[in-house]
Chains A and B, each alone.
Chain A
Amino acid sequence: MKIIVCVKQVPDAKDVRLDPKTNTLAREGVESIMNPFDRHALEAAVVLKEQYGGTVTAITMGPPQAEETLRDAVACGADEGVLVSDRAFAGADTWATSYTLAKAVEKLGEFDLILCGKQAIDGDTAQVGPGLAQRLDIPYVAYARKITECVDGVIRLERLMDDGYDEIEMGMPALMTVVKEINEPRVPSLKGKMKAKKMQATVLTAADIGADPECLGLQGSTTQVVKVFSPQFSAERCMLTGTVDEQVDQLLVKLEELL
C-alpha cells in the first residue's frame, strides 16, 4: 500500500502572541514543530504500513527549513520526504495550498491513501485535507478516530461526530483527516533517528509540479487577510471597593438584581 502523509511545520501556537503595541508577533522563543495533528496522521500511516506492508511518504509544502519536519517524520517511521518549496507559494491560503499539494501528489504518481491531521494549529482551518481530496477527485472522510480494517481496496473506519460516531466504508484511493484520539504517536527510535540524519528530501518546485502560476501563492488565493490584531476585550467595568465584607454585601445586592 502506498500511503502519503501531509505534514506541516508550524510555530508552537502556545508561544505565539501579538505585541499589542507594535502588532507584531512576539519573536523570542517560538519553536517550529510538526503540526501535532499531523503526527497522529503519520502514526496511523506507519501502523497501516506495519499491518499491511507498503511505503509511507511524508510531503510538506513550505520554506526550505520545513525539511526539518520531514526529517522528524522519517525518524518516526516515514520512508521518504518530499519538500514542495518555491517562493511562488508565499501567501498561499488553503485554496492555493490544496492546489499545490494536489499537483505535487499527482507528480508522485499512484497512491492508495492520503492522511492529514484534522487541522493545523497555526491556521486552525481544517480545509486543506478536504480541498485536496476534491482536487484529486477522490472520496474522503474528515475526523477519523479509528481505522478498523483495510482490505481489498476498501477501508473501514470510524469518524467522530459532534454527537457520537459514524462507521464508514470507502474505496481507495481515498483521503482522510485524523483526530488525536486515533492513536498515541511513537517517539523516534534510534534507528529512525539515524535514517533521518541521512535522509535526502526530494525537492519539488512550482515548475517541477507543472503548476499554473496563476493558482499559486497569494495570486492563487481566494481569500485575503485584511488585518491581523490582538483579541480585544472590554467591558463597562465597575470595581467594587471597601472591606471584603462590604464588597460581599455589594455583590449580594447585585446578584439579587440579576437573578
Chain B
Amino acid sequence: MLKIDKEACIGCGICEDTCTFSAIEVVDGVAVVGDNCTLCGNCVDVCEVGALSIDKVEKKVVADLADWTGVWVYAEFRDGRVAPVAFELLGAGRKLADQLGVPLSAVLLGSGLDNNAQDLVAYGADKVYQIDDPALTHFTDDAYANVFEDLIREHKPEIVLAGATAIGRSFIPRLATMLATGLTADCTALAIREEDGALMQTRPAFGGNIMATIECSTSRPQMATVRPLVLKPNGRDDSRQGEIVKVTPDPARLLSRVKVLRSVREETNEVNINEADVLVAGGRGLDSEKGFEMIRELAGLLGGATAASRAAVDSGWVPYPHQVGQTGKTVCPKVYFACGISGAVQHMVGMQSSDTIIVINRDENAPIFDVATYGVVGDVFEVLPKLISRLQDQRAGEGDN
C-alpha cells in the first residue's frame, strides 16, 4: 500500500501531477491516496521530501534465481509447418542469449515434425527439444502445457518466449500459472537490463495509447508472449550446428480433458498485405470510395498492395483485411505510403518499422510526419494524380523501348 508521511508532506502537489492514474490528490495541504492507486511508484520517485513510500513487505523470492539459465523459444508448429513468429522469436532470443552469454533453445511440440528442428537451428537455436507424438496432433491446452511444464522444470530456463498467437495466448497463461511465475502478454520489445540481466518486457496497454515496461523480479522463468511481425528474424544459416534432443514424455501428461473433434482450416481469399514490398495506404483524407481509387491505382502502378487506416475501413472504402495497426495487421514493407492518414498511435504501431515511409498529408503538424522518411505537405487530390500520371508516363515510355 502507498504510505504518506503526513508530517513530511508539504502539500506541493507534485505527486498529484505525476500520478498516471489520478489516484492521488492534495486535500487540506496533504496528499491523499485513492482506491485507483496501482502502486506504480511514480509518485514515490518524484516526491522531493521523501514523504511517500510503498511498503514492499519483503517479497519472497520464490525461485532461486541463479539456478535458472538459458533462453527458450516456443516454436509453434501446426499443419506441418513452424509458425513464422518462431523465427522472429529466434532472432530476438539470439540477441538476448548472446547478451547474457547463455545458450538459446527452441521447444518444438507436435506430430510429424520431420526436419523442422534443423530449420530452427539454421535460424539461431543452439538446441532444440522436440516432442513428436500423435497425442499432440491437435493443439490442446492440457497436453501442450503439461509437457512444456515438465521440460521447464527439468531444465530451468531463465526466459521463455512464445508468439502471441491464438495458440500462444491460450496455453502460455496456463503454463505460467502452473509454474507460479509471471507472464507479460503481447510484448512489442524485449531487452536485457545491464545491471542484473533481468528481462525488460515492453507492451502496449489501453488500446495502444500507453506503453508499459514490465519485469518479473522474484520468480523464474521470466515469460512473455510476443506479437507476431514486430521482431525481425535473423537470416537463415545452414552452416549453424545445433543439438536436437528428442524427448519422450510421460504418457499421462499427454492426456487432455479437452477433446478436439475436428480442426477446420478456413480458406481465406484475404489479401496478405504482410507480404507486399510496397504498400500504399489511404486514410480518411481520401474522402470517399472514389478518392480511395487513387490508392489502388498507385499501388497497381508500383506493383504493391493497398492498405488503410481504420477510418478508411470503417467508412467502407476498403475491407478489413487491409487495415494496418493495433487492431489490424502489423506490416513492414520496403516502402509504405501513408496518404491522408493522421498518424494515430494505433495506426503507427502497425507500420513504424517499415524501411521507408512516405507521407502525403496537407496538415504539416500531423503526427504521421514523425515517422516519415520523406514527407510531402500537400493535398492528396493534387499530389496523387500527378504522381500517378508521371508513373503512367514512365511505364508508357518503358513500353516504347
Chain A residues packing against B (C-beta within 8 Å): 11, 13-14, 16-18, 22-25, 27, 63-65, 87, 90-91, 93-95, 98, 121-127, 129-131, 133-135, 139-143, 156, 159-171, 174, 214, 217-219, 221-231, 233-240, 244-245, 247-252, 254-255, 258-259
Q: Which chain A residues lie closer than 8 Å to B302 at the CB level?
A: 255, 259
Are the C-beta atoms of A167 and B261 separated by less than 8 Å? Answer: yes
Task: Determine the chain B residues whose CB is within 8 A of the CB of A87 once the complex forms.
Answer: 1, 35
Residues of B within 8 A of A218 (CB): 39, 54, 56
Complex formed: what's the CA distance from A194 to B293 in Å? Answer: 51
Q: Which residues of A contact B264 (CB under 8 A)?
A: 164-167
B290 within 8 A of A: no
Residues in chain A near residue B112, CB distance under 8 A: none
Among residues of A, the one whose C-beta sits closest to the C-beta of B213 is A226
CA distance A156 to B335 in the complex (A): 46
Q: Please, which residues of chain B bring their CB within 8 A of the CB of A91?
A: 37-40
A255–B182 touching, CB < 8 Å:
no
CB pairs A–B below 8 angstroms (9 shown): A22-B18, A95-B176, A122-B206, A165-B266, A169-B259, A224-B215, A224-B216, A229-B210, A245-B386
Whether B174 is near chain A, meaning CB under 8 Å from some CB there, is yes
Q: How far is the CA of A197 from the CA of B337 in the complex (A)?
A: 53
Say whether, besides A95-B182, A223-B214, A247-B376, A235 and B57 are in contact (CB < 8 Å).
Answer: no
Within 8 A of A (CB), among B374-394: 374-378, 382-383, 386-387, 390-391, 394
Bits for B161-187, please: 1 = Cβ < 8 Å to A, else 0.
Answer: 000011101110110111011111110
Bound together, the chains give a CA A87 to CA B56 distance in angstroms of 15
Complex interface: stretch among B119-127, B137-145, B242-250, B314-322: B137-145
Bound Cα distance A11, B348 (Å): 22
Q: Select A235's contact among B36, B184, B260, B373, beta carbons within 8 Å.
A: B373
Query: A255: shortest Cβ distance to chain B, in Å?
Result: 7
Is B358 an interface residue when CB atoms closer than 8 A count as contact? yes
Interface residues of B in 30-50 (CB under 8 A from A): 35-40, 42
Q: Which of the residues B35, B139, B180, B357 comes within 8 Å of A63, measured between beta carbons?
A: B35
Are the CB atoms of B377 and A239 closer together than 8 Å?
yes
Q: How far is the CA of A257 from the CA of B365 in the complex (A)?
A: 28
Question: Residues of B contacting A140 with CB < 8 Å?
Answer: 141, 174, 258
Dominant secondary structure of chain B at its interface with chain A: mixed
Q: Count of B residues near A, CB < 8 Å?
A: 103
Which residues from chain A contact B208 at a C-beta distance below 8 Å? 231
B170 close to A121 (CB less than 8 A): no
**Hey, which chain B residues are within 8 Å of A159, CB to CB?**
166
Q: Is B116 at the interface (CB under 8 A from chain A)?
A: no
Interchain CA distance A124-B186 in the complex, whole Å: 8
8 Å CB contact of A228 from B212, B376, B383? B212
Q: Are A251 and B376 in contact (CB under 8 A)?
A: yes
Do A134 and B17 touch across chains, with their CB atoms under 8 A apart?
Answer: no
**Given A244-B383, A251-B376, A255-B335, do A231 and B349 touch, yes or no (CB 8 Å)?**
yes
Partner of B174, one of A93, A134, A165, A222: A134
Q: How far is the CB of A137 from chain B (nearest CB, A)?
A: 10
Given contacts A142-B170, A214-B60, 19 further A-B contacts (CB under 8 A): A18-B209, A24-B22, A87-B35, A90-B1, A94-B173, A124-B204, A127-B173, A139-B258, A156-B261, A163-B78, A222-B181, A222-B182, A237-B370, A239-B369, A240-B374, A244-B383, A251-B376, A258-B335, A259-B302
The residues in B between 179 and 218 inclusive whose CB is less than 8 angstroms from any CB of A are: 180-186, 200, 203-218
Q: Are A248 and B390 in contact (CB under 8 A)?
A: yes
Contact between chains at A233 and B371 (CB < 8 Å) = yes
A-B contact count, CB below 8 Å? 287
Interface of A, secondary structure class, is: mixed
Closest-by-CB residue of B relative to A133 is B174
A120–B356 Cα gap in the complex (Å)?
A: 34
Q: Are B35 and A222 in contact (CB under 8 A)?
A: no
Contacts of B224-269 to chain A: CB distance below 8 A: 256-266
A165→B35 CA distance, assembly (Å) = 41
8 A-B pairs with the lowest CB-CB distances in the bound complex, closest first:
A222-B182, A91-B39, A13-B207, A139-B257, A130-B173, A223-B182, A142-B170, A134-B177
Q: Is the CB–CB distance between A171 and B257 below 8 Å? A: yes
B141 and A90 within 8 A (CB): no
A214 contact set on B, CB distance < 8 A = 60
Report the separation of the CA atoms of residues A142 and B164 in the bound assembly, to the nearest whole angstrom: 13
Asked if A16 and B209 sit within 8 Å, CB to CB, the answer is yes
A223-B215 contact, Cβ under 8 Å, with A87-B1, A141-B141: yes
Contacts of A254 in B (CB 8 A): 356, 358, 374
- Hey, which chain B residues are within 8 Å of A94, CB to CB? 173, 183, 185
CA distance A203 to B378 in the complex (A): 59
Within the complex, the shortest CB–CB distance from A175 to chain B, in Å, comes to: 11
B266 in contact with A164 (CB, 8 Å): yes
Decide if B101 is an interface residue (CB 8 Å cutoff): no
CA A81 to CA B361, docked complex, whole Å = 50
CA distance A164 to B79 in the complex (A): 12
Asked if B152 lies at the interface with its beta carbon under 8 angstroms from chain A, I say no
Minimum distance in angstroms from A36 CB to a CB of chain B? 11
Residues in chain B near residue A249, CB distance under 8 A? 390
Which residue on chain B has the smallest CB distance to residue A177? B170
CB neighbours of A229 from chain B (8 A): 210-213
Whether B369 lies near A222 (C-beta < 8 A) is: no
Partner of B213, one of A23, A95, A98, A227: A227
